[in-house]
Copies of this chain bind each other. A is one copy, B any other.
Amino acid sequence: MFELLKTDSHTKARLGKLTTAHGVVDTPIFMPVGTQASVKALDPRELLEMGTQIILSNTYHLNLRPGLDIIRAAGGLHNFMNWEKPILTDSGGFQVFSLAKIRKIKPHGVEFRSHIDGSLLFLGPKEAMEIQRVLGSDIAMVFDECPPHDAPAKEQRLAVERTIRWASECREQPRANGQKVFGIVQGGSNPALREECAQVLVEMEFDGYAIGGVSVGEPEPEMLKAIEFTEPFLPANKARYAMGLGTPAQMVELIARGVDMFDCVLPTRIARTGTAVTHTGAFGLKGGSYKVDFRPIEEGCDCFACKHFTRAYLRHLLNVNEILGLRMVSVHNSHLYLKVMTEARAAIAAGTFTEFHRNFIANYTPSQKILAQRKRETER
């Protein structure tokens, strides 16, 4: 499924090719997030124009709404949403542990109440794989337990044990035609747990490996460590996917640490509150300083938003709550995420990734929050 085309000689960055039932994906890659069968505010044409190769969608949400019967009747998720390229579906594990109210962990899954209407539901390895089979995603994720980053050691260990047991159950379930399945490594910030979880899952021979238990509220230094503790135990000939991450600078850091795949709601989520992201950092477009700024969001950007509209116009639209404003910032931000991947791939191919990495980080101003996290880490 995964072909490793090249490994950078100075970093762990990798150039690869992921072959799925709906086409080939170049890695490193970013997957725009279509939680409810729609990448928020964007249409499929816009996604294709910005170079989207694969999107992510979600078992938990689609199972609640519209419900599996409707997607089955449509002939699967690709048909339902009119998206012909690859789809990766998350298993719902993360949502059961983050969104659902009142949950009870049982041997073969989790009983929980829907965050929509409070109805009692059950999701476990068998259910999650059956839903993903019907969705017909190209890549299904195993059903895992994802504890909060500050969970006590005992809870982290239990989560790893369950994640492993459930992964082995997932492995045995029926799949859609050509559907691949990725394991998910948990273990929080405990190196021994990460190693153990990775090694057992690798023995099970999944089609690829995700690093979970990141993007769960932990500070950036801890996130980087979780990746570093896990990556050495993952096989070189399988794709590695860091779940739910990150900022553009974080993605570049993670590519340098051997990660191939990313997904993140950030580009579309911050767009809806008027924040644009560029190669040099993020900025709020609503501010008065853009009143008569007739430049595009980012100079030299060839996205639809930057080719057609100025900061002054988008600022106006955002301030008067016109949907076109958040649409166009969503276009720009998602395009930027994909563009950074294209640039990283080109740099790895050309043998200039070290320089690309250094320049990218030097030019990118992280958010105040991330800077504060780094400062605390340095002072420890």
Contact = CB atoms under 8 A, between A and B. Distances in A.
A343 interface: no
B70 A36 contact: no
Interface in A296-317: 304, 308-310, 312-313, 315-317
Contacts of A328: 43
Contacts of A81: 313
Nearest to A316: B66
B70 A316 contact: yes
Interface stretch (A97-105, A106-114, A214-222, A318-326): A318-326
A82 B312 contact: no
Contacts of A320: 36, 61, 65
A294 B74 contact: yes
A44 B74 contact: no
For A310, A316, A325, A328, the residue with the greatest tally of chain B CB atoms inside 10 Å of its CB is A316
A162 interface: no
Interface string A271-309: 000000000000000000001101000000000100011
Interface in A110-142: none
Contacts of A310: 74, 80
A309 B42 contact: no
A327 interface: yes
Nearest to A309: B82
Interface in A310-359: 310, 312-313, 315-317, 319-320, 322-328
Nearest to A319: B65
Nearest to A310: B74
A15 B214 CA distance: 64
A40 interface: yes
A81 B324 CA distance: 11
A73 interface: yes
A308 B82 contact: yes
Nearest to A43: B324
Contacts of A309: 82
A13 to B, nearest CB: 34
A74 B40 contact: no
Given A43-B304, A74-B294, 19 more contacts: A36-B317, A36-B320, A37-B316, A38-B325, A40-B322, A40-B323, A41-B323, A41-B327, A42-B324, A43-B327, A43-B328, A44-B308, A45-B304, A61-B320, A66-B316, A73-B294, A82-B308, A323-B326, A323-B327
- Nearest 8 A/B pairs, CB to CB: A66-B316, A41-B323, A38-B322, A73-B292, A38-B324, A36-B320, A82-B308, A65-B320
26 contacts: A36-B320, A36-B322, A37-B317, A38-B322, A38-B323, A38-B324, A40-B322, A40-B324, A41-B323, A41-B327, A43-B304, A43-B327, A44-B308, A65-B316, A66-B291, A66-B312, A70-B316, A73-B292, A73-B312, A74-B310, A80-B316, A81-B313, A82-B308, A82-B313, A323-B327, A327-B327
